[in-house]
Amino acid sequence: MIKPRLALVGILAVSAIALVGCSSTPASESGDTGTDTSLSDVQEAGTLTIGTEGTYRPFTYHDASGDLTGYDVEIATAVAEKLGVEADFQETQWDAIFAGLDAGRFDIIANQVSITDEREEKYELSEPYTVSPGVVIVSDDNTDIDSLASLEGKTTAQSLSSNWYELAEANGANVEAVEGWAQAIALLEQGRVDATVNDKLTFLDYKATDADGAAGLKIAAETDDPSRNAFVVAKGSTALNDAVNDALDELRADGTLAVISEKYFGEDVTE
């Protein structure tokens, strides 16, 4: 199950809200970045040191064999190959991941970090390699809900602390608080709520991992402003960031990004 970590920017006029995790600001993500890494440093070392959680399925996690894998892991590895170096993943908790970059323990963060104005002021962010809107999910026989506005008077299931709760409520839904995606989808499948609002990647991952459970559900509407997620390097590491962007451009052009995306989500979510 995907944890709700992707930013939802600009959907509500009153705020640009980010999800828990990659879009919430950890205590270590403070103002100053202390150490920048040059492209030549990476090339001389022969490795790109990558900070990641390793506990955030399907982006960065350990498979049944104990090997680190996931969508972000595969894309970061492909980027390192384009740079002509080895990918060296260093696992850390989300709350410490920016501090690790600031201290020079990592050259780059690969962990579904949402692009926000605040982060762009403090760090160098790559081009997005994940683009995903919020979606309204309903049963496949529901014809009453086809937009956010049509949630007016309907019942949705949402995590109490999520921005999806606020979005559903702002559109007039009667929101039933739940602990997370699993409970929300269970209530929807049981017909106890009319809809749930979440990130599209959450639903695509659910379809990929539980096709039977997702068979009776559909996306009824999407938000206009998708979240965008990028790699992060220290402020001043412009040459490294440019090289990462060049690598992403090549991987997009040769179809590698699409192949990795379709492996995990069944469709291309990279642009």
Mention every residue, 6+ apart, whose C-beta is less than 8 A from residue 136: 145, 147, 148, 151, 195, 196, 197, 219, 220, 221, 222
Name the nearest CA neighbour of 170 among 7, 13, 19, 6: 13
Superfamily for the 134-222 domain: Periplasmic binding protein-like II (3.40.190.10)
DSSP conformational letter for 260: H
Query: CA-CA distances (angstroms) from residue 23 to 9, 115, 204, 227?
Result: 10, 8, 19, 10
Name the nearest CA neighbour of 165 among 19, 14, 21, 1: 19
Pseudo-torsion of CA 97, 100, 102, 103, nearest 10°?
Answer: 170
**What integer pLDDT is reported at residue 216 of this predicted model?**
92
Note whether 112 and 24 are within 8 A (CB).
Answer: no
Query: CA-CA distances (angstroms) from residue 99 to 21, 126, 255?
Result: 15, 19, 34
Q: Report helix, strand or coil for 38.
A: coil
Mention every residue, 6+ apart, whose C-beta is less than 8 A from residue 41: 107
DSSP conformational letter for 231: E
According to DSSP, the residues that pair with 218 across neighbouring strands are 138
Q: Is the peptide bond before 58 cis (omega within 30 degrees of 0)?
A: yes
Q: Report helix, strand or coil for 120.
A: helix
Query: CA-CA distances (angstroms) from residue 150 to 114, 171, 176?
Result: 28, 8, 17
CATH among 3.30.390.10, 3.90.1300.10, 1.20.58.1030, 3.40.190.10 for 8-131+226-265: 3.40.190.10
Tell me the C-alpha distance between 66 and 79, whole Å. 23
**What integer pLDDT is reported at residue 28 of this predicted model?**
53
Residue ranges of domains in the chain: 8-131+226-265, 134-222
Note whether 123 and 117 are within 8 A (CB).
Answer: no
Taking only the tens of pLDDT, the chain with its 271 residues reads 554 444 433 433 333 333 333 444 454 565 544 456 689 899 999 999 999 999 988 999 999 999 999 999 999 999 999 999 999 999 999 889 999 999 999 999 999 998 989 999 999 999 999 999 999 999 999 999 999 999 999 999 998 878 899 999 999 999 999 988 989 999 999 999 999 999 999 899 999 888 887 889 999 999 998 989 999 999 999 999 999 999 999 999 999 999 999 999 999 999 8
